[in-house]
Amino acid sequence: MLNPHLKTAVSASPLAVAALSVTAGPRPPSRLPFRPTAAIVAAGALLIACLTLTPTTAPADEEENAWTPLGLIATFVDDPLRNAVIDWHYRTDDHQPDFAFRARGSNDEWQAVEASSERFPFSTTRSFARVHLADLEPGAEYEFRFGEGSNTYWLRMLPESVAEPLVIAVGGDTMHNARDFAEVNRRAMAYEPDLVIWGGDLAYADGREDRRSRWYDWLNTKRDTLIDESGRVVPIVVCIGNHEVRGGYRGGSDSFEDSDDYRREYAPYFYSMFAFPDQPGYGALDFADYLSLIVLDTDHSNPIVGKQTDWLAAALEQRADFPGWVIPVYHVPGYPSVRDYDGGVSARVRENWVPLFDRYRVRLAFENHDHVYKRTPPLRDHQPVAADEGTVYLGDGAWGVGVRATHDPETTDYLEVVNSVRHAIILKLDPEKIEVEVVSQAGDIVDQTTIER
C-alpha cells in the first residue's frame, strides 16, 4: 500500500528544511525569559566539553565520604501534587534501607518512613528500596536522606495551579552511550524543569540478564546529571518501549499472556524499577486541573488492540470535560518520520488511538522510537487541518541515541519539521498555551512553536 501522505507538490515551510540555529544555555534563576541566557552559553559549552561522567552536581550539603546511592528516582503513582515515590539503589552488603524526610530548610524532626526493598533483577550484589510519601503539600519542598551518614536531597511537589508556567522536559530513546545521555540531560536541566517525561527505550537493556550493566550506567548518569547543584531531584514519568522488553513486542505476539507475571518476566527491569505506570503498563496521572498524562504501551507488554484501547477510550471519556491539557505519551509513532508509514504497530496506533484523539480533541501527543526530531502540523483524520482543529504529534525519540535520516517533509504531508539531531523538548505549560522549544545536544534551538487551546 502506498503512503497516502506523499505530497504531490512542495508545500513545506522554510522551517521544515532549515531549522533555527539559536544558541542555548542555562536559564536564569527567575526562570524568565523562557530561553536560557546566552551569557552562560560559552561556559556551558566548555563545561560539557570538559566534564566526565563522575558526579558533577552533588548536593549542597554533601560531606566528604557521605553515603551516596547508586541510583535515585523520584516519580508519582496517583496524585502527583500530594504523593510521591522515591527509589534508591545500593550495594546490598553496605546499606540498610533507611529513609527520613522533613520540610526543606526547617528544624523539624526527621520523619522516618519504612521502605520496601528487593534485589535488582539478575543481581546478587545490588538492591533498591522504595518509599511512598503521602499527604504532602502541593508545591511544597521536602528534603530527605538515607540515614544520618548520607547526602541530603530534596524534591519539589507539583503545584496546585500554574500561575507560573510549568516547565517540562520531554523526549525518549535516552541512552546509547552515557556521554550523549549526560550531555542532553544537562541541556534539559539548564531550563530548571519541574518534570521530565521519557517515552521509552531508556537503557537499551532489552530485558536481558547479560545487559543489566546498561541499567547501572543509566542510573549512574541520571544521578550525576539530573540532580541539580542544590540536591534537587527532578521527578520523572516514563513509558515502556521495545528496548525495555525481551523480544520487543510481546503484546503483539501469539504467545502473549495478559498477566503481571508474564509482563515482569519479559520486562523485568521496567516493572521492577518504575512505580508508574507499573502493571499493566499503561495509566494516567492527573495534575490538578491543568494536565493529564496518558501513558500507553505500543504492543511491547500489552496489545494496542482490545483491552488497552478500551481503557484509553474510557480514560478520555472521563476527561472529556477536563479543563486542562490531556497529553498521551507512547513509544512507537503513528506518524513515523523514519520508518514505514504502513508498519504494523504505527498502523495500529492510527487505527485504534488516533480516532479517539480526534474525538476528544487531544491537542498534543508525544511519540518516539525513530531517533530524530519531528513535529507534525495539526492532524485530524490523518490530514493537516487548522491549528485549533487537530492534534500535533511531537517527538520521535532522540534524547541520547544515534540519529537517522528522515522522510522528506516536502513530500510527506504529515511532517512539518524534521531534524536528525539529539535533543530535549522543553515545554512551558500554562492553562491557555504550551510554548515549545527544542534544544539540541550542541545547545542550538532547532524548533520553536506554540500550541494554543
State whether 212 and 361 are in the same domain. Answer: yes
pLDDT band at 31 (very low <50, low <70, confident <90, very high): very low
Residue 64 lies in a domain: no
Asked if the model's pLDDT at residue 144 lies above 70, the reply is yes
The three grid cell numbers given for residue 140, joined into one nine-digit string:
511544597
Side by side, the strands of the sheet bearing 283-287 are 283-287, 291-295, 325-329, 364-367, 392-395, 373-375, 417-419
CA angle 30, 35, 41 (to 5 degrees): 95
Residue 1 lies in a domain: no
Task: Answer with the one of 133, 156, 179 that is the final residue of a domain.
Answer: 156
Asked if the model's pLDDT at residue 83 lies above 80, the reply is yes
State the pLDDT at residue 45. Answer: 42
Phi, psi of 244 (to 5 degrees): -90, -10
State the pLDDT at residue 65. Answer: 64
Residue 115 lies in a domain: yes
pLDDT band at 3 (very low <50, low <70, confident <90, very high): low
What is the pLDDT averaged over residues 400-428? 97
State the pLDDT at residue 33. Answer: 44
What residues make up the domain containing 134? Answer: 71-156
- Looking at the chain, the whole-number percentage of residues with pLDDT higher than 70 is 86
Asked if the model's pLDDT at residue 281 lies above 80, the reply is yes
Task: Answer with the one of 92, 122, 156 that is the final residue of a domain.
Answer: 156
State the pLDDT at residue 63. Answer: 52
When divided into structural domains, the chain yields a total of 2
Residue 380 lies in a domain: yes
Bridge partner residues of 241 (DSSP): none
State the pLDDT at residue 161. Answer: 95
Which of these, 211, 86, 54, 205, lies nearest to 152 by C-alpha position?
86
Out of 51-65, 154-168, 393-407, pick the least confident: 51-65
State whether 210 and 122 are in the same domain. Answer: no
Q: How many CB atoms lie within 10 A of CB 235?
A: 23
Residue 119 lies in a domain: yes
State the pLDDT at residue 164. Answer: 92
State whether 151 and 295 are in the same domain. Answer: no
Taking all residues of the chain, what is their mean pLDDT, rounded to a whole number? 89
State whether 122 and 235 are in the same domain. Answer: no
Phi, psi of 388 (to 5 degrees): -95, 15
State the pLDDT at residue 1. Answer: 40
State whether 213 and 319 are in the same domain. Answer: yes
State whether 131 and 190 are in the same domain. Answer: no
Task: Answer with the one of 103, 135, 156 that is the final residue of a domain.
Answer: 156
State whether 77 and 173 are in the same domain. Answer: no
Residue 42 lies in a domain: no
State the pLDDT at residue 38. Answer: 43
State the pLDDT at residue 96. Answer: 83
pLDDT band at 37 (very low <50, low <70, confident <90, very high): very low
Contact between 167 and 426 (Cβ < 8 Å): yes
Contact between 331 and 282 (Cβ < 8 Å): no
State the pLDDT at residue 95. Answer: 84
Q: pLDDT, tens digit, for every residue of 171-193?
A: 999 999 999 999 999 999 999 99
State whether 147 and 164 are in the same domain. Answer: no
What is the pLDDT averaged over residues 266-270? 98
State whether 191 and 114 are in the same domain. Answer: no
Q: Domain containing 234 — which CATH number? A: 3.60.21.10
User: What is the rounded CA–CA span in Å between residue 130 and residue 115?
Assistant: 5
State whether 347 and 420 are in the same domain. Answer: yes
What is the pLDDT averaged over residues 51-74? 64
State whether 92 and 235 are in the same domain. Answer: no
State whether 243 and 295 are in the same domain. Answer: yes
Residue 282 lies in a domain: yes
State the pLDDT at residue 230. Answer: 96
CA angle 346, 278, 259 (to 5 degrees): 80
In the chain, the amino acid numbered 185 is N
| CA dist list (Å): 175 to 133, 210, 244 | 29, 17, 12
Residue 112 lies in a domain: yes
Q: pLDDT, tens digit, for every residue of 364-409?
A: 999 999 999 999 999 999 999 999 999 999 999 999 999 999 999 9
Q: Domain containing 145 — which CATH number? A: 2.60.40.380
Asked if the model's pLDDT at residue 259 lies above 50, the reply is yes
